[in-house]
């Protein structure tokens, strides 16, 4: 009987957690545009590619696509506009002349930094009642949630993918 009560309570807790995650995701997607206006014609997906290059360095398009869980053709189309805007450059992979590497340019890095600063300032203005300790706890919890979700998405990071392609 006690085990059944624990299972029901656990099930209810995970139901509440799932609803909260769904609500959180919806809120972030719905309000993101309020916190930062994207310069030029950058889309969120463009920023995601730039951020991935900033974090992992020069990368093959296939690695970027797999890391982000999207098709290579989608990345190819986005890289065209990012290249035209001077935010990334393409070059031959010195380890494999048939492949190309994508690199974030100084202009791309500056644009990404400006977007991040504006986004953080917007977040800071929404959480004026949170102290640094609470912000750090929330960040740690969100990272932990992401770490639990990652295996469902394949759980491989960009470094692993690049090593496998080499």
Most confident of 26-35, 54-63, 112-121: 54-63
What is the domain extent for residue 86? 31-165
Are 67 and 146 within 8 A, CB to CB? no
- CB-facing half-sphere around the CA of 70: CA atoms within 13 A: 14
Terminal CA-to-CA distance of the chain, rounded, Å?
A: 55
Say if residues 121 and 139 touch (Cβ distance below 8 Å).
no
Are the C-beta atoms of residues 103 and 89 closer than 8 Å to each other?
yes
Which residue has 């002349």 as its token pair?
A: 97
State the pLDDT at residue 134: 97
**pLDDT for position 159:** 41
pTM above 0.85, yes or no: no
In a domain, 4, yes or no: no
CATH number at residue 67: 1.10.10.10
How high does pLDDT run on average in the chain?
82
At 36 the pLDDT is: 55
Q: Which residues contact 84 (CB under 8 A, 6 or more apart)?
A: none
What per-residue confidence (pLDDT) applies to 7? Answer: 56
Does residue 97 lie in a domain region? yes
Q: Within a domain: residue 13?
A: no
Q: What is the mean pLDDT of residues 5-25?
A: 79
Q: Which residues of 35-64 are buried (b: 16+ CB within 10 A; e: fewer)?
A: bbebeeebeeebbebbebbeebebbbbbbb
The predicted pLDDT at position 114 comes to: 87
Output the pLDDT for position 16.
Answer: 92
Task: Name which of 66-70, 77-81, 108-112 the model is least confident about.
Answer: 66-70
CA 118/CA 140 separation, integer angstroms:
22
Give the residue from 32, 50, 53 showing the smallest Cα distance to 122. 32
Confidence of residue 12 (pLDDT cuts 50, 70, 90): confident
> In this structure, is residue 43 part of a structural domain?
yes
Q: How confident is the model at residue 153 (pLDDT cuts 50, 70, 90)?
A: low
Assigned domain for 3 exists: no
- CB contact at 8 A, 35 and 118: yes
> How many other CB atoms are there within 10 angstroms of residue 154's CB atom?
12
Number of domains in the chain: 1
Q: What are the tens digits of pLDDT across the range 80-123?
A: 999 999 999 999 988 887 889 999 999 999 999 988 888 888 88
């Amino acid at each position: 009987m006690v085990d059944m009560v624990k299972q029901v309570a656990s099930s209810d807790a995970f139901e509440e957690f799932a609803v909260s995650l769904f609500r959180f995701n919806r809120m972030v997607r719905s309000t993101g545009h309020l916190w930062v206006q994207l310069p030029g014609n950058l889309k969120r997906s463009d920023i995601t590619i730039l951020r991935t290059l900033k974090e992992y360095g020069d990368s093959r398009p296939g690695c970027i696509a797999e890391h982000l869980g999207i098709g290579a053709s989608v990345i190819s189309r986005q890289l065209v506009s990012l290249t035209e805007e001077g935010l990334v450059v393409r070059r031959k992979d010195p380890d494999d002349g048939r492949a190309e590497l994508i690199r974030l340019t100084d202009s791309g890095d500056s644009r990404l930094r400006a977007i991040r600063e504006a986004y953080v300032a917007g977040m800071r203005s929404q959480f004026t009642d949170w102290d640094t300790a609470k912000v750090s706890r929330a960040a740690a919890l969100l990272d932990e949630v992401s770490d639990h979700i990652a295996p469902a998405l394949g759980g491989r990071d960009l470094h692993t993918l690049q090593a496998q392609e080499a």
